[in-house]
Amino acid sequence: MSEKPADRIDGLVRELNEHNYRYNVLNAPIIPDQDFDRLLRELIELEAEHPDLVRPDSPTQRVGSDLSETFPTVVHNIPMLSLDNTYSEDELREFETRIRRELPSEDLCYVAELKIDGVALSLTYENGLLVRGVTRGDGVRGEDITPNVKTIPSIPIRLREPVDRCEVRGEVYLAHKTFQAINREREKAGETPFANPRNAAAGSLKLRDPRLVAKRRLSFFAYFFRTPDPPFHTHAETLDYLQHLRFAVNSERAVCDTLDDIVDHIHAWDRKRDTLPYDIDGVVVKLNATSQQDKLSATSKAPRWAIAFKFSAQQAETVLRRIVLQVGRTGVVTPVAELEPVLLAGTTVSRATLHNREELERKEIREGDTVRLEKGGDVIPKVVEVIREKRPAGSRPFRFPDACPVCNTPLVHDKVEVAIRCINTRCPAQVKANILHFASRTAMDIEGLGVALVNQLVDNTNTRVHDAGDLYSLDMETLAGLERMAQKSAQNLLDALKASRARPFHRVLFALGIRHVGATVARALADAFGSIDRLREASIEDLEAVHEIGPAIARSLHDFLRAEQNRAVIEKLRAAGVQLEAEQQAHTGPGPLEGKTVVITGALSRWGRQQAQDLVRSLGGKPTSSLSKKTDLVVVGENPGSKKDKAEAFGIRILNEEAFAELIGEG
C-alpha cells in the first residue's frame, strides 16, 4: 500500500466513525461486524506504530484506561433547569392559558417529545470535537465525566460539521434489553441488581473506570442545542439539525398547532409506551418558536415555555401463585409474592415484595389471588390491591408462621421496626446474606462469590463455612469438590480471597455487616479509632464522641464487638491476615492539615462535600461536621450559614476556598 500512514489513519477514522454512526444511531449498518473489526484492527496497529498520529476523534480514543479518583465539579454555562410537571389535561390547558397571557396575539405551535426516563447530560463541542460531558448535578454545577461520556457509542466524538462552539443536552438511558443483561450479570456476581434502567444508567455514568462504562452500552437521545448565535427559529428545526449533526434524536416527536393534537399524542403514547424498547415517563411539550421561548423565559427552576406531562404508574394484573418468606441479613422476615410472570413497564415481573405482615393483612392478600401490580418511577413492583371478584373459591387467609422458615427458631415481633425477626444469628439464611454482603463490591470485593456459590458453601457441610471468617480457610480440594466448580474458577476464587486481605480496615469494618454501620460510618470509625482492638476497648461514650456516631450506632457496634460469635469471626479474619488496623495515612511527611480538625461549611466549587472531606483526611486532617472551640480550621464556601459566625466568635482560623486550595497546594 503506497498510501501514507497519516492519510490511511485519517481515512480509517472517517470510515469507522461513519460505520459506528450507522450502527449505533441509525440502526442500519452497511458492513458486517467482521469487516468493521478488521478495519478497527488495522487502525489500532497503525496507531501503535505511529503514536504521534493518533487523532482525538479516533474510535480507539473512546475508551480510555485512566481510573479517575474523583470527578471535577464544573459550573454549567447555562443552568440545567428542570421541567414543571402536570398530570392532567386540565393542568395542560392552564399551561396554555399562562402562555396566552404573555403572548396574547401570537400564533402558537408546539413540539411534543417523549420524556425519556434517564439521566440528563450536557455535552460541549469545540470546532466540532467533543471536549466535555457534564452531569446535571444540582442544575448549577455538575460533575465532569468526559472519559465516561466518550464511551457512549451514539454520542458523536466529532460532529458532521465543525460547529465553532456549542452545547448539546439530552438524556442518557439504557434500553430494556441491555438493562436486563446488566442485572443478570450482577445477580450472577452476587451484586444487588439495579431497581430500574434509570438507576442503572446513573450508576454506570459514575463508574470510575471508563472500560466498565463502555461495557454498559449506554444510549443517548439529544433534545437541546445552544450556540452563541442560534441559526434556527424553531425547536423542530433545531432537532432536525441535531440529527444532521449525527446525534440520535427521538423520532417519536410531533409538531402540533393545537393543544388538542398534543393531547391526542399524549394519550396515544400513554397506551403505547409498553411497545418502546426503553422507559419513558411522560411527554414533554415545548413551544416551537424560539422567539416565543425567549419572551417567556424561565423561573429559577424551570422554563415557562415547556412542561412535562407525566404518565401515571404502569399497572398490570396477574395471579399470585405463592407467598414465600425471605430471611434477610439482620434476620428480618419479608413476605414476597411469587407471581405468574407478567410484562410490566418493559420488564417481566415474577416477584414483588409484600413488605411485612401488617401490609399483608391490611391488603388481605391470599395465595391464588389475582392482584394489581404497579411500577412507579423508581420502585420495585408492588402489589397495589387484590381483585376480590377474581378470588378463587376455597382460598384461605395466609398464616404468617411462628417459626423461621429456614431454621425453625421462633420468630420475634420487633415492634420498633415493625418487623418480624429470626433472632438466630446462625440461621443459614442470615449467614448466607452476611457472607454475600461481606463479599460485595463496596465491602471486601471478592469476585466470583455469588449467590449460587454462597448457597453451596453454607449448605454443604464439607466446606465448614459458618461465617465470613471461614472463607479464608477454604482450599483447592474443598472447592473443587463443589458442584459446577472447575479448577480454574476455584483458583480464581482463592486468588480473589487472597487479594481481599489487602482491603483497608474501614472496608473490613463495613463488610462485617454491623447494624447501622454503613460505609461512611465505618470510615469515620476507622479514622477515629484506627483498629478493631481499640474499637472493642471503646465505651459507648467514647464511640458517641465521634461526630458521625449517634447512640443507636454506638450501642449496636458495642454489642456486636462483645458478642462471642462475632469475636470468633474477627479472630478468624485476624489469623487470615485481613486488615484489622488502619494503615498510616498515605501522605508524605506531616501535611499542612496534620492532626487538624477541619470544618467545611457552604458549597465549594472545586470539590463536592464528600470529596473535600476525603481530601482533608488524605492530608492528615480530620474532617468533622460540627464546630466547637477545638476546631482548628474552618473552610468557608458559598452560603456558609451560621457556622462562619460561630467560628469568628471562637476566633478560629477561617479560610475561603482559594486560600484553602493554596494551603493544601492546589491553588
Q: Give catalytic residue positions.
A: 115
Binding of residue 647 to ligand IVH (CB under 6 A): no
Strand partners, 347: 344
Minimum CB distance to ligand IVH, residue 108 (Å)? 18
CB of 171 to ligand IVH, least distance (A): 5
Residue in 223, 225, 247, 529 binding ligand IVH, rule: CB under 6 A: 223
Stretch that binds ligand IVH, among 111-119, 446-454, 537-545, 559-567 (CB under 6 A): 111-119
Instruction: Mark residue 276 as left, alpha or beta (left: phi above 0; alpha: psi -120 to 50; beta: remaining).
Output: beta
Q: Which stretch binds ligand IVH (CB under 6 A): 108-116, 141-149, 196-204, 495-503?
A: 108-116
Helix axes 5-24, 33-49, angle to 10 degrees: 140
Cell of 176: 430494556
Interaction between residue 429 and ligand IVH (CB under 6 A):
no
| Ordered DSSP codes for 598-660 | EEEESB-SSS-HHHHHHHHHHTT-EEESS--TT--EEEE-BS-THHHHHHHHHT-EEEEHHHH
Given the complex with ligand IVH, which of 113 and 467 has the nearer CB atom?
113
Which position among 12, 13, 25, 83 is part of the footprint of ligand IVH (CB under 6 A)? 83
Q: How far is the CB of 79 from ligand IVH (least distance, A)?
A: 9
Using rule CB under 6 A, residue 120 touches ligand IVH: yes
Nearer of residues 289 and 511 to ligand IVH, judged by Cβ: 289
Under the binding rule (CB under 6 A), the answer on residue 81 touching ligand IVH is yes
When the beta carbons of 278 and 607 are compared against ligand IVH, the nearer one is 278
Q: Which stretch binds ligand IVH (CB under 6 A): 110-118, 288-296, 315-323, 511-519?
A: 110-118
Work out which of 12, 25, 99, 116 binds ligand IVH, going by CB under 6 A.
116
CB 20 to ligand IVH: min, Å: 24
Residue 83: CB minimum distance to ligand IVH, A: 4
Which residues have a Cβ under 8 Å from the Cβ of 575 and sit 6 or more positions away? 472
Q: Where are the beta strands (DSSP E) in 197-332?
A: 219-226, 254-256, 280-287, 306-310, 314-327
Residues that contact ligand IVH, how many (by CB under 6 A): 13
Q: Is 82 in the site for ligand IVH (CB under 6 A)?
A: yes
- Backbone phi, then psi, for 591, in 5-degree steps? -75, 175
Which of the stretches 114-122, 449-457, 482-490, 567-575 binds ligand IVH when contact is defined by CB under 6 A?
114-122
Q: How would you classify residue 641: left for phi > 0, otherwise alpha for psi between -120 and 50, otherwise beta?
A: left
Binding span for ligand IVH by CB under 6 A among 79-87, 159-167, 260-268, 364-372: 79-87
* Residues of this chain, 488-547, that bind ligand IVH according to CB under 6 A: none
Cβ atoms of 634 and 599 closer than 8 Å: yes
Q: State which of residues 113, 191, 369, 374 lies at the interface with ligand IVH (CB under 6 A).
A: 113
In the complex, the smallest distance separating the C-beta of residue 189 from ligand IVH, rounded to whole angstroms, is 30
- For 208-223, give the DSSP string: S-HHHHHHT--EEEEE
Please list every residue from 250 through 309 that binds ligand IVH, using CB under 6 A. 284, 303, 306, 308
SS3 state of residue 381? coil
Closer Cβ to ligand IVH, 296 or 661, answer by number:
296
Q: Of 173 and 560, which has the nearer Cβ to ligand IVH?
A: 173
Residue numbers 7-66 binding ligand IVH by CB under 6 A: none
Query: What minimum distance in Å lies between the beta carbon of 111 and ligand IVH?
Result: 9
Q: Least distance to ligand IVH from the beta carbon of 306, Å?
A: 6
For 608-645, b/e burial (b = at least 16 CB within 10 A) is: beebbbbbbbebbbbbbeebeeebebbbbbeebeebbe
Q: Is 149 in contact with 294 (CB distance < 8 Å)?
A: no
Of the candidates 135, 164, 147, the one whose C-alpha atom is nearest the C-alpha of residue 62 is: 147
Amino acid at 319: V
Between 144 and 467, name the residue whose CB sits nearer to ligand IVH. Answer: 144
Least distance (Å) between residue 514 CB and ligand IVH:
38
Q: List Cα–Cα distances, 619 to 122, 547, 589, 593, in angstroms.
A: 33, 19, 10, 6
The DSSP string of 568-602 is: HHHHHHHHHT---BPPPPS-SSS-TTTT-EEEEES
- The 3-class secondary structure across 117-170, one letter per residue, is CCEEEEEEEECCEEEEEEECCCCCEEEECHHHHCCCCCCCCECCCCCCEEEEEE
Residue nearest to ligand IVH (CB): 120
Contact residues for ligand IVH (CB under 6 A)?
81-83, 113, 115-116, 120, 171, 223, 284, 303, 306, 308
